[in-house]
Structure 1
Amino acid sequence: MRYEPITWERLARALAVHADGLEPADGGSWLRIGVDGAPAARPEDAAARLAEALRARGRPVLTVSTGGFLRPASLRYEYGKQDPDSYADSWFDTGALWREVFRPLEPGGSGRVLPDLWNPVTDRATRSPYQELPEGGVLILHGPLLLGQWFPFDLGIHLSLSPGALRRRTEESERWTLPAFARYEDEVGPAGRADTVVRADDPRHPAWTGLGTG
């Protein structure tokens, strides 16, 4: 896989131009973009830059983090607080993401998206109000392990880290999750499922494959 150097700002602009020319694959009224990456790759930052670039082009954008759709602690920690298989398989409430984020954006949907569901700090429901994304708007969902869930992304972006960079950039207290990401690479192969891959080993100097890799 060949990578070309790019800045984060140029990357966001290029992706926004590309996204602006896409039609939703399901024939609906909303575009759905996934920014997939381990926490160490900071997918929230890439999502924010892309959202800003899309808004500059006049597109309404709603960004949603999978961190707002964690399961309650009693379910996440059923097999302990540092079980990598549980992290990969059952920490994130994918059913709620389908129900509250993707289903409202299906053809004929209401466009009313729940931006988050669960606060992991208080371990309680957030009770956030629904947000309405106008027709022609763009959803950007960001977080880890996204590309193995069959979410209906019209554009999938994978932020890639080499094993060494992933370990180096992951806080020591979170390194127990590393086997989950190794398993994700082996079982899902996110680079092969994404429409573009961004190598982020050096956060100051990203590189990307261009579009059409998936």
Structure 2
Amino acid sequence: MRFQPITWERLAEAVAGHVDAAEPGDGSAWLKVGIDGAPAAPTAETAERIANALRARGRSVLVVGTGGFLRPASLRFEYGKQDPDAYYSGWFDTGALWREVLGPLEAGGTGRVLPDLWDPVRDRATRSPYTELAAGGVLVLHGPFLQGHWFPFDLTVHLRLSPAALARRTEDRWTLPAFERYETEVGPADAADVVVRADDPRHPAWSGLPA
């Protein structure tokens, strides 16, 4: 895979232009973009940049982070607070993401999306109101481990960190085996439509857009 230097601003504009010209692959009225990457990668910032570029094109956009769909502490910490296997497969409520975020945006869906479900600090439901995404709108979902769940993304962007960069920039080092498992089981760089090398956040490089 060849990478070319790019700025985050140019990346956002290029992805937004590609998405704006696309049609939903599942026949629904909404486009769905996944920004996949470890917490050490700027997934949230990248999602917001792309969202702003899409809004400038007149698109309705909803940005959702998987951090708002963590399971309750009693489930996340069932095997201890630093279990990498639990972090990989048990921390994020993928069922709720399907039910509350992606399902309403399938063909025939209502477009009513819950932007977040659980507050991990207070360990209770956020009680956020539903947001209705207008037909023709775009969902931008960001967070780790997004691939491998058959989420119906129309475009997936993977922010890749080398093992050395990931180890250097990860505060919770006990999570590192979870990302090694993700690499082995899913191969996110191979599965994604766009790969961004983000070892040096000041100088990203990317694989380009799909044909």
The interval holding the TM-score normalised by the smaller chain is over 0.9
> What's the C-alpha RMSD, in Å, of the aligned pairs?
0.8
Give the superposition deviation at 1:106.
0.8
Q: What is the distance in 2 between the residues matched to 1:211 and 1:13?
A: 12
Asked if 1:32 is matched to 2:8, the reply is no
- Return structure 1 stretches of 4+ with deviation > 2 angstroms: none
Where do 1:172-187 residues align within 5 Å? 174-187=172-185
Partner Cα distance (2:96, 2:108) in 1? 19
Paired letter, 1:105:
L
Residue 117 (str. 1) matches residue 120 (str. 2): no
Name the residue aligned to 1:199.
197
Are residue 126 (structure 1) and residue 126 (structure 2) matched?
A: yes
Segments of 5+ residues of structure 2 without an aligned counterpart are none
* AA in 2 matched with 1:204: R
Corresponding residue of 1:212: 210
Equivalent position of 1:135 in the other structure: 135
User: Is 1:75–2:75 an aligned residue pair?
Assistant: yes
AA at the equivalent of 1:58? G
Q: Spell out, residue by residue over 1:44-70, the C-alpha distance to the aligned partner (whole angstroms, 9 max, x if none).
A: 010010001000111000000000000
- One-letter amino acid of the structure 1 residue matched with residue 112 of structure 2: R
Instruction: Return the letter of the residue paired with 1:89.
Output: S
Q: Percent identity?
A: 73
Tell whether 2:57 aligns with 1:57.
yes
Distance (whole Å) between structure 1 residues aligned to residue 164 and residue 149 of structure 2: 26
Query: Residues of 1 paired with 2:79 and 2:148: CA distance?
Result: 22
**Aligned partner of residue 88 in structure 1, secondary structure:** helix
Aligned partners of 1:80 and 1:189: how far apart in 2? 27
Q: Any stretches of 5+ residues in structure 1 without a counterpart?
A: none
Match of 1:16 in 2: 16
Deviations 1:89-144 (A, max 9, x none): 11000000000001100111110000000000000000000000000000000000
What TM-score comes out, normalization by structure 1 length?
Answer: 0.97
- Paired residues for 1:83-122 under 5 Å: 83-122=83-122
TM-score by length of 2: 0.99
